[in-house]
A and B are shown apart, each in its own frame.
Chain A
Amino acid sequence: MDVEFTLDDIDQDAFNAAEAEILELMRTAAPNLDARRGTAIRDLLVRPAAQYFALDAARIAALRETFSLKLVEESPETADSETVDNLLANMAYVRKAGTKARGSVAFYTDELKNYYIPEAFTVEDSGQSSYLTEQNWTVRIDAVADPATEVQLTPVAGEEGKYVFVLPLVAENTGSSYAVQSGAALTMLSAQISGITSAEAYTDFTGGAAQEEIADALASLEASLSHRAFESQASITAKLQQDFASVYAVSAVGYANAAQLRDKHNLMGVAVGNKVDIYARTFRAPYLVLLNKTGTKISDGVYQFTLTPSEAAGFYRVRSIIAVGTTTEGVVLAEQPGIGSLAFTVARAAYGLSGTFHDFDPDNGAIETAFSAWQQAVITVSGVSSFVEDGQAVYPDTAVFKTEIYVPPDLLALQVAVDDATVRNQEADQVVRGAIPCFISLQATVYRLQSATVDLLEVADTLADYINSRDFNASLTVSQLSAIFHSFDIVRVALDSKSSAGMRLTGEITAADGTIIEISGDSLDISAVASPELLVSADTVVFAVDLRNIFLNEVIVAV
Chain B
Amino acid sequence: MKHDISVSGQAGKSAAPTFLWLGSFWTTLYTDKAFIYAYCKGNGLAAAQLYLNFLEAVNSLSRQNIPIFHREVWLPLIIRLSQQNSGDKIAVGLDPAVYVGPQPEDTVYQAKKVYPVGGNVVRSGFTVYPIISERPVVDGVSRIASAIVSPEAVLLKGTHYFVQGGEIIFREDSDPFANPAFLRREIHDETTGVADEEILLWATDALVDLELIYNNYGYQLAFNPGSSEYGHDAVNALWDVRFKGANLTAVRRAMGALLDVPTTGVEQETVEDVVANADGSQTVITDTDVYTVAAAETIREEVVQGAVLEAGSFLSHTIHYYTKLDPARFEAGNRLPLSQFLLDMPMLQLPVGIAGNGVRNGLDAEWKATDITYNGDDANGNPKLSFKLGGAPADLVIFWQSIWDRAEDREESLADFFADFLWSTPPYLQIGIAVGSLNPMRFFMENFFKYNVGVAVVDFNALPEYVTSLSVFACLHRLLPAHAVLMTVAKQQVSDAVGFAVGEALDANYGKALSDAVPTVSEAGLQHRWVPRP
Residues of A within 8 A of B (CB): 18, 21-31, 33, 41, 45-46, 49, 53, 56-57, 60-61, 63-64, 67-71, 91, 218, 221-223, 225-227, 229, 231-236, 252-258, 260, 264, 267-276, 363, 425, 427-430, 533
Interface residue? B39 (CB, 8 A): yes
Interface residue? B275 (CB, 8 A): no
Report A-chain residues with C-beta under 8 Å of the C-beta of B357.
264, 269-270
A232 close to B38 (CB less than 8 A): no
Give the shortest distance, in Å, between B74 (CB) and chain A (any CB): 7
Bound Cα distance A218, B219 (Å): 9
Interface residue? B352 (CB, 8 A): yes
A256 close to B448 (CB less than 8 A): no
Report B-chain residues with C-beta under 8 Å of the C-beta of A56.
50
Interface residue? B28 (CB, 8 A): no
A25 close to B452 (CB less than 8 A): no
A270 close to B358 (CB less than 8 A): no
Interface residue? B25 (CB, 8 A): no
Given contacts A29-B41, A57-B50, contact A260 B353 (CB under 8 A): yes
B221 close to A225 (CB less than 8 A): yes
Interface residue? B354 (CB, 8 A): yes
Give the shortest distance, in Å, between A166 (CB) and chain B (any CB): 44
Give the shortest distance, in Å, between B249 (CB) and chain A (any CB): 15
Can you list, as one digit per residue, whether each of B38-79 has a CB less than 8 Å from chain A (1) or not (0)? 110111011000100110110011000000000000100000
Question: Quick one: which of A26, A223, A231, A269 contacts B482, CB cutoff 8 A?
Answer: A231
Bound Cα distance A296, B61 (Å): 66
B45 close to A28 (CB less than 8 A): yes
Report B-chain residues with C-beta under 8 Å of the C-beta of A26.
38-39, 41-42
Question: Quick one: which of A25, A27, A67 contacts B61, CB cutoff 8 A?
Answer: A67
Chain B residue nearest to A233 (CB atoms) is: B478
Report A-chain residues with C-beta under 8 Å of the C-beta of B406.
267, 269
Given contacts A22-B42, A24-B149, A68-B216, contact A33 B35 (CB under 8 A): yes
A227 close to B46 (CB less than 8 A): no
B148 close to A28 (CB less than 8 A): yes
Interface centre among B53, B246, B483 (most CB of A within 10 A): B483
Bound Cα distance A378, B46 (Å): 79
Interface residue? B220 (CB, 8 A): yes
B403 close to A267 (CB less than 8 A): yes
Interface residue? B355 (CB, 8 A): yes
Bound Cα distance A466, B534 (Å): 25
Give the shortest distance, in Å, between B66 (CB) and chain A (any CB): 9
Question: Quick one: which of B34, B43, B447 contacts A22, CB cutoff 8 A?
Answer: B43
Question: Quick one: which of A69, A225, A270, A272 contacts B242, CB cutoff 8 A?
Answer: A225
B38 close to A255 (CB less than 8 A): no
Interface residue? B239 (CB, 8 A): yes
Given contacts A226-B242, A256-B354, contact A25 B484 (CB under 8 A): no
Bound Cα distance A226, B482 (Å): 14
B356 close to A256 (CB less than 8 A): no
Report B-chain residues with C-beta under 8 Å of the C-beta of A61.
53
Report A-chain residues with C-beta under 8 Å of the C-beta of B3.
none
Interface contacts beyond A57-B53, A269-B356: sample of 5 additional A-B pairs, CB < 8 Å, sorted by A: A26-B42, A49-B43, A254-B481, A267-B403, A268-B403
A270 close to B355 (CB less than 8 A): yes
Given contacts A29-B34, A29-B38, A49-B43, contact A255 B353 (CB under 8 A): yes
Interface residue? B412 (CB, 8 A): yes
B37 close to A29 (CB less than 8 A): yes
Given contacts A67-B216, A232-B246, contact A274 B149 (CB under 8 A): no
Report B-chain residues with C-beta under 8 Å of the C-beta of A31.
149-150
Bound Cα distance A269, B242 (Å): 33
Interface residue? B500 (CB, 8 A): no
Mark out the residues of chain B between 489 and 534 whose CB falls within 8 Å of any chain A CB in the assembled complex.
533
Chain B residue nearest to A23 (CB atoms) is: B42
Report A-chain residues with C-beta under 8 Å of the C-beta of B177.
none
Report B-chain residues with C-beta under 8 Å of the C-beta of A267.
403, 406-407, 410, 412, 414, 417
Can you list, as one digit per residue, whether each of B312-355 has a CB less than 8 Å from chain A (1) or not (0)? 00000000000000000000000000000000000000111111
Report B-chain residues with C-beta under 8 Å of the C-beta of A232.
246, 478-482
Bound Cα distance A218, B243 (Å): 18
Bound Cα distance A428, B477 (Å): 17
Residues of B within 8 A of A (CB): 15, 34-35, 37-39, 41-43, 45-46, 50, 53-54, 56-57, 60-61, 74, 147-150, 214-216, 219-222, 239, 242-246, 350-358, 402-403, 406-407, 409-410, 412, 414, 417, 444, 447-448, 451-453, 477-485, 533
Bound Cα distance A67, B56 (Å): 11
B479 close to A226 (CB less than 8 A): yes
Chain B residue nearest to A425 (CB atoms) is: B483
A255 close to B221 (CB less than 8 A): no
Given contacts A234-B478, A252-B482, A254-B484, contact A274 B245 (CB under 8 A): no
Chain B residue nearest to A49 (CB atoms) is: B43
Report A-chain residues with C-beta under 8 Å of the C-beta of B448.
268, 270-272
Give the shortest distance, in Å, between A530 (CB) and chain B (any CB): 11
Bound Cα distance A46, B42 (Å): 9
Q: 15 A–B contact pairs at CB < 8 A? A: A25-B43, A27-B42, A33-B35, A60-B50, A70-B219, A91-B220, A221-B220, A232-B478, A233-B479, A235-B479, A258-B353, A260-B353, A268-B447, A271-B356, A273-B484
Chain B residue nearest to A230 (CB atoms) is: B482
Given contacts A234-B242, A267-B406, contact A428 B149 (CB under 8 A): no
A64 close to B34 (CB less than 8 A): no
Given contacts A222-B222, A232-B480, A427-B483, contact A270 B453 (CB under 8 A): no
Report A-chain residues with C-beta under 8 Å of the C-beta of B351.
256
Bound Cα distance A61, B210 (Å): 12
A60 close to B54 (CB less than 8 A): yes
Report B-chain residues with C-beta under 8 Å of the C-beta of A269.
356-357, 402-403, 406
Report A-chain residues with C-beta under 8 Å of the C-beta of B414.
267
Bound Cα distance A274, B483 (Å): 4
Bound Cα distance A33, B36 (Å): 10
Question: Quick one: which of B148, B244, B246 contacts A25, CB cutoff 8 A?
Answer: B148
Chain A residue nearest to B50 (CB atoms) is: A56
A255 close to B350 (CB less than 8 A): no
Give the shortest distance, in Å, between A424 (CB) and chain B (any CB): 13
Report A-chain residues with C-beta under 8 Å of the C-beta of B412.
267
Bound Cα distance A514, B354 (Å): 25
Question: Quick one: which of A28, A257, A276 contacts B42, CB cutoff 8 A?
Answer: A28
Chain B residue nearest to A87 (CB atoms) is: B220
A28 close to B479 (CB less than 8 A): no
Report B-chain residues with C-beta under 8 Å of the C-beta of A276.
482-483
B482 close to A428 (CB less than 8 A): yes
B222 close to A28 (CB less than 8 A): no
A25 close to B222 (CB less than 8 A): no
Give the shortest distance, in Å, between A528 (CB) and chain B (any CB): 14
Report A-chain residues with C-beta under 8 Å of the C-beta of B485.
254-256, 273
Give the shortest distance, in Å, between B259 (CB) and chain A (any CB): 20
B215 close to A70 (CB less than 8 A): yes
Bound Cα distance A70, B352 (Å): 38
Bound Cα distance A255, B50 (Å): 53
Bound Cα distance A270, B57 (Å): 54
Report A-chain residues with C-beta under 8 Å of the C-beta of B221.
222, 225
B244 close to A227 (CB less than 8 A): yes
A22 close to B46 (CB less than 8 A): yes
A235 close to B38 (CB less than 8 A): no
Give the shortest distance, in Å, between B109 (CB) and chain A (any CB): 38
Report A-chain residues with C-beta under 8 Å of the C-beta of B41.
25-26, 28-29
Given contacts A31-B149, A53-B46, A273-B483, contact A231 B219 (CB under 8 A): no
Given contacts A23-B42, A28-B41, contact A270 B245 (CB under 8 A): no
Chain B residue nearest to A31 (CB atoms) is: B149
Bound Cα distance A91, B242 (Å): 12
Interface centre among A18, A22, A91, A232 (most CB of B within 10 A): A232
Bound Cα distance A554, B110 (Å): 68
Given contacts A63-B57, A67-B61, A70-B215, contact A225 B42 (CB under 8 A): no
Chain B residue nearest to A221 (CB atoms) is: B220
